[in-house]
Amino acid sequence: MVMESKQLQAFKQHNHLLSQFIIRLSRFYDGFEPRIDEELQTLRGHLAGTPNFTLATTSIGKLETLLQNSDAALKKYTKETAAELEDTVKALQMQLNSNDKLRKQATEQLMTLNQPVDNLFSLQSLLTRALRLYRQGLDYVSKRSPSHTEPAAPVDKKGTDKLYASIYQELNQLLSNYAQKKPDDPQLREIRELLDTQQSEDALLHSCVVIIRMIVQDAMSDASLTGKVIQSLHNSLGKIQHGVTDTIEQSRQQFDSRQTVNAELRRQLDDMEDAVTQSDTLEALRQQAHSYMQGLSSTLTEREEADRAGQQALLDLMGSMQHQLTRLQRQTNSYKKKLAEQIVSSQTDALTRLPNRSAYNNKVRQSIQAFQRGTPLAVAVADVDHFKSINDRFGHATGDKTLQLVARHLRQNLSDSHFVARWGGEEFIILLQGLTADGAVEALEKVRDKLASLPFKFKQEKVTITASFGITMLKSDDSADDAFNRADAMLYTAKRQGRNCVVLG
Ligand SMILES: Nc1nc2c(ncn2[C@@H]2O[C@H](COP(=O)(O)OP(=O)(O)OP(=O)(O)O)[C@@H](O)[C@H]2O)c(=O)[nH]1
């Protein structure tokens, strides 16, 4: 009996414990769905005080069905919420296009949101992360408001920002060309500083106008230089033409005087013939002959003298013409040399001495023709990482020096059959001919790796310079622009993936 009551006691205790546990557990699901809430409340009622297990079992059965149905609803709910979150993070990512760190975080979150979300806890963790990103994004966007002065260089490569960046790069390129010609020009220095510190559209337009005015002035003075050369060539040619006219005139005069002399000789001979036929005596004939012979001899002497004078004049003229021709040849040669220099300098980037964009345009045209004849072509774009910070920390001159060193590094570490040009700013363009995609990536990887290990030292500070590369293989229907745009998009991916890498696409 005692044993039985002890067992009963224990049984009651277990029942109580179990009831309490089920009550606590059921509270956890409170607020999940009204019908489940209701049934949970009923179950708790059956288990509170003296538990009624018969009713509780019925209630548990009902709950089981309700929970099974709600499982599908829960899945649908988590899926919808995750999709909504994804949209929100995407919208946020668009706002963060110039903040690499936050944009990268947004990309990572989007990748997680693409995975199936299987329970409410994962959903909650995603929500918490998205909220955190949202708050950081909000801070960043509010700091970017117009009152906040942003660094000069535009980073976004799309739409207006891309246009802005390309105008900005063009201006910088033009500026560096002119800075070489006129290193001490205060106006140039002022524009450079303006571009480095300010990025309002007004400032950009103002700089455009000033630079265009400079170019026009420069072109005008170049034209007058060319005009001088042409004038001088014209003068030389004029003198030669003059000489030729003189020579023709001289010959004509000589011909006339010879004709006159010949006519005189013919007349003298006729007279002599008449005299011979009409002479009565031998003595008269001898005298006539003597006098005609004298006449003939002096006519011949005159003719000889005239001939000699004519010949001398001709020699003088020839001498002067030769002199003019030599001068003309010298002038033409120096003009040709100047022209060749002008062509080279118009195809060369003034700062890095690499071929410039115009040279690239010519080269890519030839390379595409070679591609059509079967030589593979890879187009790559390289961009120095965090270059702005070199300028900011060590000054623009060090920035320029860095660009020169990077340019030299690229040129020296790629074979001569490959083409390297400066695209503008801190961007370079490379054409690799005759390599497979793997071969081209391998060549760039070597260049990239070697650059990253070069020991740069600025103002006693050791600095690591790295570059990111985007590369693509030319396809059969590609235009030069198609290939460039693809390589540029890959460069963008390389930057997003953390820089100092080569991305093929
Ligand atoms: N010294 C110097 N700076 C230049 C020249 N051309 C462009 N720049 C500067 O290059 C910088 C480019 O900076 P960003 O486009 O922000 O890029 P970044 O700092 O290199 O960063 P990531 O490309 O995102 O790695 C700007 O600050 C320009 O002023 C140049 O010829 N000489």
Q: Which of 92, 118, 143 is the last residue of a domain?
A: 143
Ligand 1 atom with the smallest distance to the CA of 402 is 1
Q: 434 or 309: which carries more pLDDT confidence?
A: 434
Site to substitute for ligand 1 among 426, 463, 488, most atoms within 8 A of C-beta = 426
Within-domain flag for 221: no
pLDDT at 68 over 80: no
Provide the residue type at 320 as one letter: S
Whether residue 196 has its Cβ less than 6 Å from ligand 1: yes
Q: Are residues 264 and 333 both part of a single domain?
A: yes
Q: Which of 107, 125, 143 is the last residue of a domain?
A: 143
Among 299-313, 343-357, 377-391, name the most confident range.
377-391
CATH assignment at residue 406: 3.30.70.270
Q: What is the pLDDT of residue 424?
A: 92
| Cα 175 to ligand 1 centre (Å) | 14
DSSP structure string for 24-83 = HHHHHTTTS-HHHHHHHHHHHHHHSSS--HHHHHHHHHHHHHHHHHHHHHHHHHHHHHHH
Whether residue 402 has its Cβ less than 6 Å from ligand 1: no
Q: Are residues 277 and 383 both part of a single domain?
A: no
Ligand 1 atom with the smallest distance to the CA of 176 is 31
Average pLDDT over residues 82-103: 74
Q: What percent of the chain has pLDDT over 70?
A: 62
Q: How many domains, the chain? A: 3
CB 428 within 8 A of CB 420: yes
Q: Are residues 393 and 496 both part of a single domain?
A: yes
Give the whole-angstrom CA distance, residue 310 versus residue 287.
35
> How confident is the model over 269-311, as pLDDT tens digits?
677 667 666 766 666 666 766 676 677 677 777 777 777 777 7
Residues of the domain holding 270: 233-346
Q: 116 or 247: which carries more pLDDT confidence?
A: 116
Average pLDDT over residues 334-346: 76
pLDDT at 260 over 90: no
Q: Are residues 403 and 498 both part of a single domain?
A: yes
Place of tokens 């198609």: 482
Q: 151 or 52: which carries more pLDDT confidence?
A: 52
| Cα 415 to ligand 1 centre (Å) | 27
Whether residue 153 has its Cβ less than 6 Å from ligand 1: yes
> How confident is the model over 146-192, as pLDDT tens digits?
444 444 444 443 444 555 555 566 566 666 665 666 667 777 777 66
> How confident is the model over 212-236, as pLDDT tens digits?
555 545 544 554 445 555 555 556 5
> How confident is the model over 148-158, as pLDDT tens digits?
444 444 444 34
pLDDT at 125 over 80: no
Q: Are residues 405 and 323 both part of a single domain?
A: no
End-to-end CA distance of the chain: 86
Q: Are residues 319 and 406 both part of a single domain?
A: no
Q: Are residues 337 and 373 both part of a single domain?
A: no
Q: What is the pLDDT of residue 138?
A: 67
Structural tokens at position 316? 């003088």
Q: 464 or 2: which carries more pLDDT confidence?
A: 464
pLDDT at 72 over 80: no
Within-domain flag for 274: yes
Q: What is the pLDDT of residue 384?
A: 97
CA atoms within 13 A on the CB side of 329: 6
Q: Which of 143, 171, 199 is the last residue of a domain?
A: 143
Average pLDDT over residues 248-254: 67
H or E element that contains 279: none
Give the whole-angstrom CA distance, residue 236 versus residue 243.
11
Among 4-13, 334-343, 374-383, name the most confident range.
374-383
Average pLDDT over residues 117-125: 66
Q: What is the pLDDT of residue 4?
A: 60
Within-domain flag for 166: no
Q: What is the pLDDT of residue 62?
A: 81
Q: What is the pLDDT of residue 505?
A: 93
Q: What is the pLDDT of residue 208?
A: 56
Within-domain flag for 152: no
H or E element that contains 380: strand 377-384
CB 323 within 8 A of CB 317: no
Structure confidence at residue 382 as a pLDDT band (50, 70, 90) = very high
Q: Strand runs (DSSP E) across 267-360, as ranges?
A: none
pLDDT at 427 over 90: yes
Q: What percent of the chain has pLDDT over 90?
A: 30
For 175-179, the CB contacts below 8 A with 24+ separation are 175/211, 176/349, 176/350, 176/351, 176/400, 177/349, 177/350, 178/211, 178/214, 178/215, 178/218, 179/350
pLDDT at 363 over 90: yes
Q: 493 or 259: which carries more pLDDT confidence?
A: 493
| Cα 458 to ligand 1 centre (Å) | 17
pLDDT at 466 over 70: yes
**Residue nearest atom 4 in ligand 1 by C-alpha distance:** 425
Q: Are residues 27 and 137 both part of a single domain?
A: yes
Q: Are residues 361 and 386 both part of a single domain?
A: yes
Q: Which of 379, 399, 381 is nearest to 465 (CA)?
A: 399
Average pLDDT over residues 70-95: 73
pLDDT at 102 over 60: yes
Whether residue 496 has its Cβ less than 6 Å from ligand 1: no
> What global pTM score does this model have?
0.45
Q: What is the pLDDT of residue 82?
A: 75
Count Cβ atoms below 10 Å from residue 154 Cβ, excluding itself.
19
Q: What is the pLDDT of residue 149?
A: 40
pLDDT at 318 over 80: no
Residue partners of 476: CB distance under 8 A and separation at least 6: none
For 324-330, the CB contacts below 8 A with 24+ separation are 324/236, 324/239, 324/240, 324/243, 325/240, 327/236, 328/233, 328/236, 328/237, 328/240
Ligand 1 atom with the smallest distance to the CA of 173 is 31
| Cα 396 to ligand 1 centre (Å) | 10
Q: Are residues 296 and 249 both part of a single domain?
A: yes
Q: Are residues 339 and 364 both part of a single domain?
A: no
Q: What is the pLDDT of residue 502?
A: 98
Structure confidence at residue 314 as a pLDDT band (50, 70, 90) = low
101 alpha-carbon distance from chain centroid: 25
Q: What is the pLDDT of residue 32?
A: 64
Q: Are residues 268 and 399 both part of a single domain?
A: no
Q: What is the pLDDT of residue 500?
A: 97
Within-domain flag for 207: no
Q: 347 or 123: which carries more pLDDT confidence?
A: 347
pLDDT mean across residues, the chain:
76
Q: What is the pLDDT of residue 444?
A: 98
